[in-house]
């Protein structure tokens, strides 16, 4: 019995020592509840931006191309496209809002034909309403957007490591990743805008003649703009949390002493 009691006491002492060391290690490298709450709020903000970014990059409503309505036809043609895919639609003119001179919006029900861009696989340009895309610009927009998503994912992993493992050194890395992600998404939007301008100007000479078009940016692009701004804001908030607190109190005391 004496041997078992000694063994149990030694085991209890060992467990207490191990738990004490873990508690001291967490106290040394862990986050304060206030700091952890601020980081979680910033992570929630960046999560909103990440959701908007995935929604923008994954959908094809970046821009809508609309033909003008013809008086001698009951249908009209419209198209919408994104980074990966384009869709042409044949709409009934009766469904088009009264007073609108062009076909659309593309969200109206109609006969749709959607295809993925072939310049990601075979390198071929796409043709839309007798106009040809400029694949180099479209590829650049897609690559920059994917890089933005990659930096966004890396930023999320860094912040999760900070909250779970107490690796505070990764907080600044995560902040920079989120800022770069938002910036790259905005750059992708600008490159895509140039690809739309190039598409409208590259009219093919072969018949039939290219119809007159108007274009309007749609909700996917708006999600991309919002995602870029929110991610940059979230990255800025995380970066502020890595800075040492500004000694406003001591500065005010010094000024008070100088005044007296």
CB distance 107 to 72 below 8 Å: no
- Tens-place pLDDT, residues 129-184: 888 888 899 999 999 999 999 999 999 999 998 888 877 888 899 999 999 999 99
Tokens found for residue 150: 């990659």
pLDDT of residue 212: 86
Q: Which of 52-66, 114-128, 225-239 has the lowest mean pLDDT?
A: 114-128
CA 90, CA 223: separation in Å to the nearest integer? 26
DSSP label of 207: S
Q: Which of 58, 70, 115, 71 is nearest to 89 (CA)?
A: 115
Q: Which of 20-34, 60-74, 82-96, 147-161 has the lowest mean pLDDT?
A: 20-34
> Residue written as tokens 């191990």?
18
| Band (76; pLDDT cuts 50, 70, 90) | confident
Contacts of residue 71, Cβ cutoff 8 Å, sequence gap at least 6: none
Judge if pTM exceeds 0.75.
Answer: yes
Q: What is the mean pLDDT of residues 66-84?
A: 86
CB distance 170 to 162 below 8 Å: yes
Q: Which of 96, 89, 36, 102 is nearest to 61 (CA)?
A: 89
Whole-number average pLDDT of the chain: 83
| Band (251; pLDDT cuts 50, 70, 90) | very low
- Tens-place pLDDT, residues 56-70: 999 999 999 998 887
Per DSSP bridges, beta strands 85-92 and 127-128 are unpaired
CA 146, CA 84: separation in Å to the nearest integer? 11
């Amino acid at each position: 019995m004496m041997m078992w009691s000694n063994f149990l006491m030694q085991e209890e002492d060992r467990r207490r020592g191990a738990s004490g060391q873990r508690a001291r290690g967490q106290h040394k490298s862990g986050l304060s509840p206030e700091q952890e709450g601020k980081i979680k709020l910033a992570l929630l903000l960046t999560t909103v931006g990440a959701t908007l970014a995935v929604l923008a990059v994954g959908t094809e409503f970046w821009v809508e191309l609309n033909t003008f309505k013809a008086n001698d036809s009951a249908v009209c043609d419209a198209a919408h496209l994104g980074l990966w895919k384009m869709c042409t639609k044949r709409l009934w003119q009766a469904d088009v809002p009264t007073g609108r001179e062009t076909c659309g919006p593309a969200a109206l029900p109609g006969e749709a034909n959607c295809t993925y861009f072939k310049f990601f696989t075979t390198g071929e340009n796409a043709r839309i309403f007798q106009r040809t895309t400029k694949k180099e610009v479209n590829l650049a927009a897609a690559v920059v957007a994917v890089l933005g998503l990659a930096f966004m994912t890396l930023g999320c992993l860094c912040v999760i490591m900070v909250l779970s493992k107490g690796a505070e050194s990764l907080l600044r890395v995560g902040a920079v990743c989120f800022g770069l992600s938002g910036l790259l998404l905005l750059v992708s939007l600008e490159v895509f805008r140039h690809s739309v301008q190039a598409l409208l100007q590259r009219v093919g000479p072969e018949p039939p003649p290219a119809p007159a078009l108007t274009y309007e940016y749609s909700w996917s692009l708006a999600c991309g703009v919002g995602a870029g701004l929110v991610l940059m804001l979230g990255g800025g908030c995380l970066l502020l949390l890595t800075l040492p607190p500004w000694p406003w109190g001591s500065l005010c005391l010094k000024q008070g002493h100088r005044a007296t």
